[in-house]
Amino acid sequence: MSQGNKIPATVITGFLGAGKTSTIRHLLETANGKRIALVINEFGDLGVDGEIVKGCGIENCEEDAVLELPNGCICCTVADDFIPTIETLLNRAEPPDHIVIETSGLALPKPLVKAFNWPEIRTKVTVDGVITVIDGPAVAEGLFASDPAAVDAQRKADESLDHESPLEELFEEQINCADMVVINKTDLLAEAELERVLRDVKGELRPEVKIVRSSYGKVDAKVLLGLEAAAEDDLDSRPSHHDDGHEHDHDDFMSFAVDLGEVENPKALVARLLPVIARHGILRVKGFAKVAGKDMRLVLQGVGGRLQHYYDRDWQPEETQSTRLVVIGEADMDSDAIRAALASDRSASEEAGRESAAAF
């Protein structure tokens, strides 16, 4: 069937903190007036990514074009959440030219692609492509295996055993479904590291999948859109660990929100977070902060010990001006200990922040 009369949809997937939201922001900036609707899904009860996009100030990024599916995983809630959301977009008086779907960092893309074969949307929408964004430095550091050397030794000792960690399996799910892979944050990699990441990733991909390098998610819309993959018709070439019918869940991961009140400045907040991230093996931190003496909202995002922060917009009158972060990690993460550590580290971090306040 010709795809010409269908609205194209692009699925942007990738692990926690890979740079999906930054990639989408740059896509919108280079869309040249194309009407793009965004469906953003997050793992956790604070919709950070959707709020970041809504506050981006990009001309063709109206707030009513951003639909959020918070507090869950889009691959697990297709019937309840995703299908009705797509139908809402299709039933608008002026449907979008293109739909962009950002999955949560813990989502499997293949069940989502399968959903485009549902009768309600199959004749109206096609999957233009699955874009998998990869955190280059994280792959270089072996983040997707708890202990890469130990895993390799175990596999060599007994090839019949499956020693994949949840992170490694999730990484494979996301690249196995890709039509294009964006290796992001290449500015943080030495040339030798980048070549190793490119070699390792290429070895996992289907031959026809293209690899794009980027920093800060800067890949133009003309590169990401218009792949015409019709991925919903090509499911068999996209292997999954769950093709045998085993159900997928997220029991291996957890998230919770932390309220930290007002902070002295960004450096004080980073100083408070870094030791706690290191001690507790936190995978991802993201949220908004109220900085003393500032009318603007601070966005903070972090993967491991790499924390990024910037001011995006003024606080709105109806908003509570406070610091609220989402913490994501593996299921054995001790949320009580993390909250206690952040509270106890406050005095020391704020003193460090005051000493360097002039820098901000």
**Contact present, 77 and 84 (Cβ < 8 Å):** no
Work out the pLDDT band at 46, boundaries 50, 70, 90. Answer: very low
Say whether pLDDT at 236 is over 70: yes
Mapping DSSP onto H, E and C, the string for the chain reads: CCCCCCEEEEEEECCCCCCHHHHHHHHHHCCCCCCEEEEEECCCCCCHHHHHHHCCCCCCCCHHHEEEECCCCCCCCHHHHHHHHHHHHHCCCCCCCEEEEECCCCCCHHHHHHHCCCHHHHCCEEEEEEEEEEEHHHHHCCCCCCCHHHHHHHHHHCCCCCCCCHHHHHHHHHHHCCCEEEEECHHHCCHHHHHHHHHHHHCCCCCCCEEEECCCCCCCHHHHCCCCCCHHHCHHHCCCCCCCCCCCCCCCEEEEEEECCEECCHHHHHHHHHHHHHHHCCCEEEEEEEECCCCEEEEEEEECCEEEEEEEEECCCCCCCCCEEEEEEECCCCHHHHHHHHHHCHHHHHHHHHHCHHHC
What is the pLDDT at residue 213? 95
Q: What is the pLDDT of residues 309-328, one digit of tens each?
A: 889 889 988 888 999 898 87
d(CA 168, CA 272) in angstroms, rounded, equals 29
Question: Which residue type sits at 71?
Answer: N
pTM here? 0.66
pLDDT of residue 347: 53
pLDDT digits (tens, 9 = 90+) for 56-75: 444 554 545 566 555 444 44
What distance lies between CA 75 and its chain's CA centroid? 14
Q: Is the pLDDT of residue 160 over 90?
A: no
Average pLDDT over residues 261-265: 90
Measured CA to CA, the distance from residue 107 to residue 173 in angstroms comes to 9
- The amino acid at residue 322 is S
**pLDDT tens digits, one per residue of 180-205:** 999 999 999 999 999 999 998 998 89
Count of C-beta atoms within a 10 Å radius of residue 6: 18
**296 DSSP β-pair partners:** 314
pLDDT of res. 329: 80
The predicted pLDDT at position 357 comes to 43
Segment 117-158, tens digit of pLDDT: 988 889 999 999 999 999 999 888 876 654 545 545 554 554
The mean-pLDDT minimum among 166-180, 182-196, 216-230 falls in: 166-180
How is residue 101 written in tokens? 């779907």
The structure tokens 């909202």 sit at 297
